[in-house]
Amino acid sequence: MKKIFTILCAMVLAISVSAQQKGESLALAIIPSDLPQDFPASAQTQIVNKLNQVLTNNGVAKIPGFSQFFITVIAAPQTKDITPTAPPQVAQTLEFTFYIADYNTQTVFSQTSITAKGIGPTEAKSYMDAIRHINVNSPAIKEFVVKGKAKIIDWYDSQAESIFMKAEQLAKRHEYEEALYLVSGFPTECQNFAKSIEIGNKIFQDYIDYTCQQNLAQARAAWAAEQNSYGASQAGEYLAQIYPEAACYNDAMALYQEIKGKVLDDWKFEMKMYQDQVDLESQRIEAWKAVGVAYGNHQQPTTTNIAWLR
């Protein structure tokens, strides 16, 4: 819970971009495919960089962690020759197949293949040279991303009502983080995007009200146990997790004033406030989406198996 709130705090305090900014309405995770053992780690870094470029150049955001929808690329050697030079070079042609897919259902939404040639003193360096020659701005790549985005938007449109129903059921069981995770991924182009924001805002309000009562009770207990700087510090850890819009915020503020009046300057803590009341709606939306992202990242499998793509 504390880790989620830490991420939440950072998002609220640092947010400067609207949740509906054009070009970042859809986000994908990057899953690099497994490389043979004899290739250096930098080859995988190059692959990830290429995938980043594909997303950035086509108006798709990268999810920092795991997500149901992802992009990857798998390399398959086509030809390999040793050049009759001194010293000899390894020249090879590789086919790079890009995929946008659904990890949960193992469904491929879009794919395309690009051939690239590489040359180097070793097979590994030849492989890396081929990666460098992948043209991420090719028409085939652009069409591949457009098709993948359209398929994901269609998926959200077809599944919207069941997603909303499940999210509301989770919220009733106080499983707010998972509920917010479900509604946080809707791209702006979806028919039900506005409804996802409406439901997300409602669930987030229930979430901050519920957690406010929990944290306020913990803060009161910590302060009652030791009414000194140590007790103030312990209470502050809980008060720091209470949001201004929470139903019990005024009660939390009263406890804050009581503690501050007794420990004076020994307590360097201030209650959470929104950023100058500027663009509150964007801050609120980004706040609950951060909760959903944090939950999603914690669900990442220990090993990401995409062998089903081959």
8-state DSSP, 264: G
Q: Is the pLDDT of residue 24 over 50?
A: no
Omega of the bond prior to 87 within 30 degrees of 0, cis?
Answer: yes
Lowest mean pLDDT among 100-114, 147-161, 166-180, 260-274: 260-274
Q: Binning pLDDT at 50, 70 and 90, where does residue 34 land?
A: low
The number of residues in the chain equals: 310
| pLDDT computed for residue 244 by the predictor | 87
Kindly report, residue by residue over 154-181, the tens digit of the pLDDT: 999 999 999 999 999 999 999 999 999 9
Q: Is the pLDDT of residue 211 over 80?
A: yes
* Whether domain 19-157+302-309 has CATH 3.30.160: yes
Dihedral angle, C-alpha 181, 62, 198, 8, nearest 10 ° = 60
Q: What percent of the chain has pLDDT over 90?
A: 56
Q: Is the pLDDT of residue 127 over 90?
A: no
More confident residue, 240 or 67: 240
More confident residue, 164 or 104: 164
Q: Which helix (H) or strand (E) holds 29?
A: strand 27-30
More confident residue, 130 or 41: 130
More confident residue, 241 or 41: 241
The whole model's pTM is what? Answer: 0.78
Q: Which helix (H) or strand (E) holds 30?
A: strand 27-30
| pLDDT computed for residue 182 by the predictor | 92
Q: Is the pLDDT of residue 8 over 80?
A: no
CATH 3.30.160 residue ranges for the chain: 19-157+302-309
Could you please report the per-residue DSSP string of 62-121? EPSS--SEEEEEEEEEEEEEE-SSSS--EEEEEEEEEEEEETTTTEEEEEEEEEEEEEES
Residue 51 main-chain phi, psi, to 5 deg: -65, -40
* Pairs from 130-139 (Cβ < 8 Å, separation ≥ 24): 130/75, 130/92, 130/93, 130/94, 130/96, 131/43, 131/46, 131/47, 131/50, 131/75, 131/96, 132/46, 134/50, 134/96, 136/50, 136/53, 136/54, 136/57, 137/57, 138/114
φ/ψ bin of 23: left (φ > 0), alpha (ψ from -120 to 50), beta (otherwise)? left
| pLDDT computed for residue 277 by the predictor | 56
More confident residue, 184 or 64: 184
**To which residue do tokens 């390999």 refer?**
80
